[in-house]
Amino acid sequence: MRIINTAEEMQRTALSLRAAGRKIGLVPTMGFLHAGHASLLDVCRPECDVLAVSIFVNPTQFGPNEDLDKYPRDFDHDCELCESHGADIVFAPTPETIYAPDHSTWVVEEVLSKPLCGRTRPIHFRGVATVVTKLFNLTQAQVAVFGRKDAQQALIIERMVRDLNIPVRIIVAPLVRDEDKVALSSRNRYLSAGERGAARSISRSLLAAEQTLTVGGAAAAAGEVEKVRAAITDAGGTVDYVEALDADTLSGVTAGSRRVLLAAAAWFGATRLIDNIMVEYK
Ligand code: AMP
């Protein structure tokens, strides 16, 4: 497994791999990898000849009062996980090699980025769309895998790739949960034992809602939103949002909605967690 630390070396390597006819797959991450990330590598591995994993805590997707400086890191463990899941390249650039000091070009998706996390994190998806575009250009990936854990992010990337004719096939892999059903997240590391216990209220209530929505149809969505909100609040969490939206448009659920996304974000102490379920209707 090769470790690449500069944008320039990544692109040079990728272009020569492409010239040799190799198909490159990319799993973009911010590191501190866990079994959720590993599942993305496992999905990507059979889809490509060369599996690249990027590890980059992207400063432009963090707001001024967010956790950029304390975002957890463990590069050695990350490399072990990547190697054991078949990665060929770990691309771990420093911010300086990704962003020129006078960087002034952004990729902005203007509709799907507005609700849910976009409301409290107004610059977040601009940072994500921009860095993912850069990672696609640097790695020359033909296929990339994202997790349903960040359902809104995955939708925005799919929309961006479609709208800008970016020649990358996007695969969205299932959300991976811990044994207690809490969604795996690098940020779970911040939780105290008590907060971790309280955080189970999100997954528990969302999974109950998933069953109700599967049986009861999209009309049950409004009631389930209230139940999830109450479960989080009762456990001592502070709700950022709980919303049920049409998963293709991220606008309100209608009788014709093909997929419903029920998404939640909540604070447990100083830690903001997100989770979601998605129900598909025939
Ligand atoms: P992050 O390192 O948190 O930026 O996540 C990198 C990629 O891993 C994103 O596509 C996430 O959606 C995905 N991911 C993170 N946690 C999980 C999880 N629990 N299950 C599935 N995918 C995940």
**Per-residue pLDDT tens for 167-195?**
999 999 999 999 999 999 999 999 999 99
* Cα 247 to averaged position of ligand 1 atoms, centre (Å): 18
Cβ 245 vs Cβ 267: under 8 Å: no
Cβ 90 vs Cβ 82: under 8 Å: yes
* Cα 173 to averaged position of ligand 1 atoms, centre (Å): 9
Q: Would you say residue 4 has pLDDT above 90? A: yes
Residue ranges lining ligand 1, Cβ < 6 Å: 29-30, 36-37, 39-40, 146-147, 149-150, 173, 175-176, 183-186
**Per-residue pLDDT tens for 209-240?**
999 999 999 999 999 999 999 999 999 999 99
pLDDT band for 282, please (50, 70, 90 cuts).
confident
* Cα 54 to averaged position of ligand 1 atoms, centre (Å): 12
Atom of ligand 1 nearest to the CA of 187: 3
Cβ 247 vs Cβ 259: under 8 Å: yes
Question: Ligand 1, residues 150, 168, 273, 275: which to mutate, most atoms within 8 A of Cβ?
Answer: 150
Measured torsion, CA atoms of residues 126, 128, 131, 135, in degrees rounded to the nearest 10: -140
